[in-house]
Structure 1
Amino acid sequence: MSQEIAVIGSPDFTTGFRLAGVRKFETVADDEKDEQLDEAVSGVLEDENVGIVVMHDDDLEYLSRSVRNDVETSIEPTLVTLGGGAGAGGLRDQIKRAIGIDLMEEDN
């Protein structure tokens, strides 16, 4: 069972997680995202020890179509995005994708 958290993003984004004890991270400089983000994300997705991948929501736009599809359809590891206006709806969708049910679904 995958138990580690991995963080992918700019040095500013990953530093806080590293200070909090996250040991797996891929730092990609802002000016190199177009070239290196796909490779970083693909590598983390292939790591069997990673259960959760954390990225900034804005970084998703830098991913190629195939890698973005891999991230969006991945069940394990599960992608959690922060920032960028994902809001409660975005978090709700992430939880729903991760566990397969909508915990906040209203009974009508």
Structure 2
Amino acid sequence: MSQEIGVIGSPDFTTGFRLAGVRKFANVPADEKDERLDEAVSEMLEDEEIGIVVMHDDDLDHLSRDVRQDVETSVEPVLVTLGGGTGSGGLRDQIKRAIGIDLMDED
């Protein structure tokens, strides 16, 4: 089971995670997202040590169709997005996809 957390995003986004002890990160400045974000995400998805990848919700718009599909279908590592308009439903869906069951199911 993969134990590491990976973070992808602007240096401002990754700094807090790095200060908290996250060792795997990819800094992608805002002006280079269209060129470098796909590569950074693909590398994190292929890293067998990483179980969770964290990135900002707005950065999903900068991914190519193929990489975005890889992200949406990846079970391990699971991609968790923060910020933007994800809301509790988005996080709930991410958790459900990661573990395979809905912990908040009221039925």
1:91 aligns with 2:76: no
Aligned length, in residue pairs: 107
Q: Determine helix, strand or coil for the equivalent of 2:31.
A: helix
Q: 1:80 is matched with which residue? A: 80
The ranges of structure 1 where at least 4 consecutive aligned residues each deviate by more than 4 angstroms after the TM superposition are none
1:42 aligns with 2:39: no
TM-score by length of 2: 0.98
Q: 2:30 is matched with which residue? A: 30
Code of the aligned partner of 2:104: M
Q: Distance in 2 between matches of 1:98 and 1:24?
A: 20
Q: Distance in 1 between matches of 2:91 and 2:45?
A: 20
Gaps of 5+ in 2: none
TM-score by length of 1: 0.97
Q: Distance in 2 between matches of 1:46 and 1:91?
A: 23
How far off is 1:90 after superposition?
0.6
Q: CA RMSD in A?
A: 0.5
Q: Deviations over 1:24-80 (max 9, x none)?
A: 000000000000000000001000000000000000000000000000100000101
